[in-house]
Amino acid sequence: MKKYLLLLLLSGLFSQNLPQPVIVGQDVSYPTLKISNFVKINEKVGIEDDRVKLGIRQLMEEAFSNSRYVLVDDDNADFVASAELVYVGQPNQAFSILGIFNRRNTNTQVNIEISMIDNKNNKTETYRGQGETKTKITATGLQISDDIPFNRTEFGGSVRKAIDNAMGDIN
C-alpha cells in the first residue's frame, strides 16, 4: 500500500508543468535609451562653454551604461534622457599670509535634473540630483595649472555625483 501511495505521489509530481528557468540575457528584453545631444544649462548658472555640455553628456552615458538600459543612437529608442544643469555654487573660504602662504577651501555644489521621456506612453519623469565636491588647496608662492579632462575636474566630480544621485531614483 505504501508503494502505491509513493508511486501515485511521484507520478503526480513528474506530470506537473513546473516553471522553466530563464536563461540570463536571452529571454529578457531590456529597454533601450538614447542620451539626448541637447544639454540645457539654466541661464542663472552663467556657463556657456560647450565643453561642459559635452562633459555632462559623457558622464550621463557612463552612468546609464551601468544601468538596466541599453544605450542606442537611433531615434526609435524606448526612452530619451536629457539633462539640465540647474545650479552651480562655489562657496569659497580663503586666507593668505603675506601673499606667500595661501590656503583655500572650496565646495563645488551642483544641482542637475535628468528628464526621462517614455516614447511609448508619451510620459516624462524628472529626477533631481545634487553633488558636492570639497577641496582644500594649500600653496606656497606658486600656482599650478594643468589641462585635465572634464570628469577629473572639481566641477566634473560634482556633476558626476549629482548624476549618480539622480540615477538612484531612476533605477
Predicted local confidence at residue 123, as pLDDT: 92
Predicted local confidence at residue 143, as pLDDT: 42
* All cell numbers assigned to 79: 526612452
Question: Looking at the domain assignment, is residue 69 inside a domain?
Answer: yes
Predicted local confidence at residue 50, as pLDDT: 74
Question: Looking at the domain assignment, is residue 6 inside a domain?
Answer: no
Predicted local confidence at residue 53, as pLDDT: 80
Predicted local confidence at residue 145, as pLDDT: 41
Question: Looking at the domain assignment, is residue 121 inside a domain?
Answer: yes
Question: Looking at the domain assignment, is residue 131 inside a domain?
Answer: yes
**Residue-range definition of the domain harbouring residue 59:** 28-141+153-170
The helix (run of H) or strand (run of E) holding residue 128 is strand 123-140
**Residues 96, 137: contact at Cβ < 8 Å?**
no
Strand 101-118 to strand 123-140: parallel, antiparallel, or no bridges (unpaired)?
antiparallel
In which residue ranges of the chain is pLDDT below 70?
A: 1, 4-28, 91-103, 136-148, 150-152, 171
Q: How far apart are CA 58 and CA 134, in angstroms?
A: 22
pTM: 0.64
Predicted local confidence at residue 54, as pLDDT: 83
CA 63, 106, 53, 151 torsion-angle sign: negative
For residue 142, the Cα-to-chain-centroid distance in whole angstroms is 36
Our count of domains for the chain comes to 1
CA 139, 145, 147, 150 torsion-angle sign: positive
Question: Looking at the domain assignment, is residue 103 inside a domain?
Answer: yes
Predicted local confidence at residue 11, as pLDDT: 66
Give the CATH number, domain containing residue 127.
3.40.50
Question: Looking at the domain assignment, is residue 94 inside a domain?
Answer: yes
* All cell numbers assigned to 126: 524628472
Question: Looking at the domain assignment, is residue 19 inside a domain?
Answer: no
Predicted local confidence at residue 141, as pLDDT: 42
DSSP class of residue 67 equals: S
**Residues 127, 113: contact at Cβ < 8 Å?**
yes
Predicted local confidence at residue 91, as pLDDT: 64
Question: Looking at the domain assignment, is residue 5 inside a domain?
Answer: no
